[in-house]
Copies of this chain bind each other. A is one copy, B any other.
Amino acid sequence: MDFFEKTLEEKDIYKGKIIDVKVQKVKLPNGKESKREIVRHQGGVAVIAYKNEKEIFMVKQFRKPIDMEILEIPAGKIEKGEDKKICAERELEEEIGYKAKKWTYMGKVVTSPGFCDEYIYLYKAENLYKGEDGLNDEDEFIDIIEVKVDEIRELIKKGKIIDAKSICAMAMEKIY
């Protein structure tokens, strides 16, 4: 069955640094009209980075929307026109100070398809080595944490890891 919704009108609500917001008038499959609130996001990458066979790097970062620090795998937003793999390499080095000799693309997920077009592209990075550049974005404050692969299930079970992209990547990598 085809449930395509045709866009009849689109209104710009907000153009920001990270997101744009639109409201669309759409034609539903039954011919009626409805409104769709849509957040546009450039998309992002997230990386399972192995320190060694038994440990991965995670970052603890304050997230203003939920007003708390959470554990996530290294991740970040794709810059306009940036290649996803280049973005993954850049974010890995910015966030934990490492480059990787071996990269594997694992797949993509959509985080909130009801109102947002954000895709996250998931990578695995192995054979890490220290990058030359300094760490971090100027305005990014993060703690780097080494997490044992065989403790991940327990961390998720106890609600210590709640970040969806991280859990998806861990599941794809079969370490959760």
Interface residues of A, Cβ cutoff 8 Å to B: 1-5, 7, 13-14, 16-19, 21, 23-24, 26, 28-30, 32, 34-41, 44, 60-66, 69-70, 72, 77, 107-120, 139, 141-143, 156-157, 159, 162-165, 167-168, 170-172, 176
Contacts and interface: CB of A to CB of B under 8 A. Distances in A.
Given A28-B141, A64-B38, A18 B114 contact: yes
A170 B171 contact: yes
Contact of A141 (B3, B37, B118, B171): B3
A120 B164 contact: yes
A114 B171 contact: no
A21 B15 CA distance: 11
A106 B149 CA distance: 21
Given A5-B64, A21-B39, A65-B113, 12 more contacts: A13-B14, A19-B37, A28-B141, A32-B139, A70-B113, A77-B114, A108-B159, A109-B162, A109-B167, A111-B111, A112-B118, A120-B164
Contacts of A143: 1, 3
